[in-house]
């Protein structure tokens, strides 16, 4: 039986496709913690005739039936370079925006805005307050976290302690690992001092305080995790990441919509026709993590592209590249690497005419 991912859900939720544009970030849209590696903002807002901003959508689709959603997200935004504007627009037109939110004092704000300085949050444009834009520096961070989660799953699925040890951090000597967290594609360890030995019924010393590993002096030696520690902490981190990602999704009951019948696979309540049970997403990232969770449950994997090395869902068993553009670029690289295939370039100079 093939292990390639294919989602079949009895109750599929819907999401929206967008007509998106890109513009440079404004000064108040830069985060305060670090410089960004992509200074573009994706905008899907338009002004209605009566002067109110609204979403420029293309239609609705079922993200859990888009088998390449998670793989496309990891490929496009998790690379080292900036994706081309055309490919970003193509992604939003096909899958939509993340549209993550965070709780605030007066309702909700975009999740990326929670990482801005307070004075920047107060001066955000209306398109940001209405969740009609999101910066690519934030989308890239989320894509790196998804890719790290997927890499962790692959290492655990293969029961490969060496790959797990390469993913998981080292621990300072004399300290124990307290918990792990994935931030911006990096696994951040939180460590604490080893608990002191007990003397009779009383514990000698005070309780250990958790701290980030990077705050420990670099001169303190670090030790790699053992094979059992790698397996145990790898499972714990994967479970935490999938659970946290799925929090933006839940199951709800709805009145049946004939127009959406082709997208939903409803579970009709016994004796109550016209009611359907479908999944609801509060962000596209939740749909991506639901896909990954389904893959973990069924022990499925994506295929690896021979060109870029990214994951993809093949449309048939003969497909070896994630898309035709990647395949063409890979074949061109292979052609010019072969000896004798490089074109000889003639030196350029002024043309002369013989008398």
pLDDT band at 229 (very low <50, low <70, confident <90, very high): very high
96 conformational bin, left if phi > 0, alpha if psi -120 to 50, beta if neither: left
Among 43-57, 88-102, 145-159, which is the least confidently predicted range? Answer: 43-57
What are the strands, taking DSSP E only, across 194-239?
198-199, 202-203, 211-212, 222-223
Mean pLDDT across 48-76: 89
Asked if 161 contacts 227 with a C-beta cutoff of 8 angstroms, the reply is: yes
The three-state secondary structure class of 343 is coil
Question: Whole-angstrom Cα distance, residue 98 to residue 245?
Answer: 12
Q: What is the pLDDT of residue 304?
A: 85
Q: What is the pLDDT of residue 93?
A: 96
Model pTM above 0.85:
no
Q: What is the pLDDT of residue 211?
A: 80
pLDDT for residue 240 is more than 50:
yes
Quick: pLDDT tens for 107-131. Answer: 789 999 999 988 898 899 999 999 9
Going 315 to 69 to 16 to 289, the CA torsion angle's sign is: positive
Q: What is the pLDDT of residue 323?
A: 79
Regarding predicted confidence, which is higher, 87 or 332?
87
Among 80-94, 181-195, 265-279, 336-350, which is the least confidently predicted range? Answer: 336-350
pLDDT for residue 274 is more than 90:
no
Quick: pLDDT tens for 196-223. Answer: 555 544 444 444 567 887 888 888 899 9
Q: What is the pLDDT of residue 332?
A: 75
Q: What is the pLDDT of residue 203?
A: 47
Q: What is the pLDDT of residue 50?
A: 81
74 conformational bin, left if phi > 0, alpha if psi -120 to 50, beta if neither: alpha
Q: Where are the domains of the chain?
A: 15-149+249-301, 160-242
């Amino acid at each position: 039986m093939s292990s390639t991912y294919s989602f079949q859900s009895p109750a599929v939720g819907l999401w929206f496709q967008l007509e998106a544009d890109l513009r440079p970030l404004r000064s108040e849209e830069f985060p305060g913690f670090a410089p960004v590696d992509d200074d573009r903002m994706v905008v899907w807002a338009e002004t209605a005739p009566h002067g109110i901003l609204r979403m420029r959508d293309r239609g609705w689709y079922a993200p859990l039936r888009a088998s390449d959603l998670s793989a496309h997200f990891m490929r496009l935004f998790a690379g080292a370079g900036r994706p081309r504007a055309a490919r970003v627009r193509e992604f939003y037109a096909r899958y939509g925006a993340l549209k993550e939110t965070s709780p605030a004092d007066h309702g909700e704000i975009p999740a990326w805005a929670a990482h801005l300085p307070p004075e920047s949050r107060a001066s955000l444009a209306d398109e940001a307050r209405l969740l009609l834009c999101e910066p690519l520096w934030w989308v890239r961070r989320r894509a790196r976290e998804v890719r790290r989660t997927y890499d962790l799953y692959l290492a655990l699925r293969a029961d490969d302690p060496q790959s797990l040890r390469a993913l998981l951090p080292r621990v300072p000597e004399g300290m124990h690992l307290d918990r792990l967290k994935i931030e911006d594609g990096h696994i951040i360890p939180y460590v604490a001092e080893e608990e002191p030995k007990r003397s009779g019924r009383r514990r000698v010393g005070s309780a250990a305080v958790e701290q980030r590993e990077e705050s420990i002096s670099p001169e303190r030696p670090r030790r790699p995790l053992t094979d059992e520690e790698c397996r145990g902490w790898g499972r714990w981190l994967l479970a935490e990441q999938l659970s946290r990602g799925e929090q933006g999704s839940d199951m709800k009951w709805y009145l049946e919509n004939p127009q959406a019948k082709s997208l939903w696979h409803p579970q009709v309540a016994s004796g109550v026709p016209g009611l359907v049970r479908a999944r609801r997403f509060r962000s596209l990232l939740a749909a991506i993590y639901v896909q990954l969770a389904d893959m973990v449950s069924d022990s499925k994997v994506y295929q690896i592209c021979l060109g870029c090395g990214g994951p993809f869902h093949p449309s048939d068993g003969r497909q070896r590249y994630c898309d035709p553009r990647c395949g063409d670029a890979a074949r061109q690289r292979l052609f010019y690497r072969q000896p004798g295939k490089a074109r000889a370039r003639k030196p350029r100079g002024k043309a002369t005419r013989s008398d």
